[in-house]
Structures are given as C-alpha cells and as structure tokens.
Structure 1
Amino acid sequence: MKYLILIYSNPKSRAAWDKLTEEQQRRFGQDHYDLSDRLRASGELIVSEGLPGPETGKGVSIRDGQVVVTDGPFAEAKEYLAGFYLVEADTIDQVIAHAATLPDAHNDGIEIRPVWDMTQLDL
C-alpha cells in the first residue's frame, strides 16, 4: 500500500531552524538524505520532495463559473506542508518506524496518510 509521510512547518519551527548552527542544519538535511537512501535501497521510496513556504503558492477556486487565483502567503495558515515522502509499504507500522527517524518528528510532528489508488475505483 502507498502512504504519504507529510512534514509540516510553522513560524515557530521556522524560527527554530534559523537559530540552528550551520552544522545542525547540515545534519538535519543529512538525516533526510539518509532516510531517502534507506527507502530507495529497500524499494519503498516512490518520491520525496521539499516544498518552499506558502508565500510561493497560489490558491485556485471557481466562483460564479470563473477561475479565481489568489497569491500567498495565506495569513490564516498556522502551519503548512513543508515536504513529503510517498512510500510503498506492507504496513503502516513500517512507515511509522521510518517517520520516527526524521528530525522533524522532534519539532512539529509528522502525519502519515494512506493513499487511495484512484485507478481501482469502480465508477
């Protein structure tokens, strides 16, 4: 089954990042590379990516039949998606074990969600 490991950030965690030494920031990044390498070697990694802050995003909605696009930042957002890993695993417990090795787990926590295979829907 596929799972998303969702990594969130917020102003508090961003401020904590800015206070880290260069070596601590390097170690943080290395921990992510190490997990990606382990997941790749085991065949579990599908893709992993980091995301820039919400101020780089766009909101898209339809109002009165028209496409409405808004710019970030989204002031109402207390936290935002900072990155993700899409993995294939037999059990959620395997995914939890991987997520627990991420440095982000010490700060804001990580969310794990199963992914629906939309190609299997009987429509």
Structure 2
Amino acid sequence: MEFVLAFQQPPNVYETYADLLKGQQVSLAWKQYMGALAAAGVMRAGRQLDPRNASTVRVRDGQRQGQDGPSPDAHALFGGFVVINVETQAEALHWAELNPNSSAGYTEVIPVLTIIHA
C-alpha cells in the first residue's frame, strides 16, 4: 500500500533551520531518516517544500482571490512529503513516528487511492 507522509511544521521551525548549529543538527536527523527509508526499500518519492514562499488561491463568486505566502488559516506549514510503499497502515504510522518532524510539528499519514481508468 502506498502512503504519503505529509510533514506539517510550525512556522518557527524555519528559524531553527537558519541557526547554523541547530540547522546542521536538523539536517543530519533528516539525512538519517531519509537514509533509513531508502535502506528499508520503502521510499518511492519525496520532496522538501518552501511554504514560506507559497501563494494561496481561492475562488469566490467566480472571482480568483490570491495572496502571497501560506494560507493565513494554517497553524502549520506543509514543509514536504515522502511517498512510501509498505504492507500496512501500522507500518506507515511507524515511519511517521520516526520522522524528525513529528517531534516539532506533526506528520499526516494519508493512504494513496488507486485510480481505475476506464
């Protein structure tokens, strides 16, 4: 089964990344985590995102409304994701628990639906 692990981070986490020492520690934790996913053979894809430079678009009454920056409704920023292929949801939850992001923010575990083409 495929799952997306979506990494939701509080905005202040990005200040930690900017600190030279703390940023290196965070980078090392991420490298170890990604290496463990690769070594286990479960990672299919992954990307780091820059939500601070996102744009938000809504359509209301047929009119596009846009704003620079992440959604003002967000309490956390979507900082990245990986797609994993594991046997069970319990295994996906285990990988989410091991993620360095889960101690600062949270990791959503989202099953990937199979699309059937006609």
Into which bin does the TM-score normalised by the smaller protein fall?
0.7 to 0.9
CA-CA distance at 1:4 after TM superposition: 0.7
1:71 and 2:67 equivalent? yes
Q: How many residue pairs are counted as aligned between the two chains?
A: 117
CA-CA distance at 1:76 after TM superposition: 2.6
- CA distance in structure 1 between the aligned counterparts of 2:23 and 2:57, rounded to whole angstroms: 30
Matches within 5 A, 1:35-54: 35-54=33-52
Deviation digits for residues 90-118 of structure 1 (CA, Å, limit 9, x no counterpart): 01222222222222111112111111112
* Structure 1 runs, 4 residues or longer, greater than 3 Å off: 12-15, 60-64
CA-CA distance at 1:42 after TM superposition: 2.4
Matches within 5 A, 1:112-123: 112-118=109-115, 120=116
Q: Percentage identity across aligned positions?
A: 14
TM-score (norm. length: structure 1): 0.76
Query: How big is the alpha-carbon RMSD for the aligned residues of Structure 1 and Structure 2?
Result: 2.5
Secondary structure class of the residue paired with 2:3: strand
Q: 1:24 aligns with which of 14, 22, 29?
A: 22
Task: Between 21-30 and 42-51, report the one with greater CA deviation.
Answer: 21-30
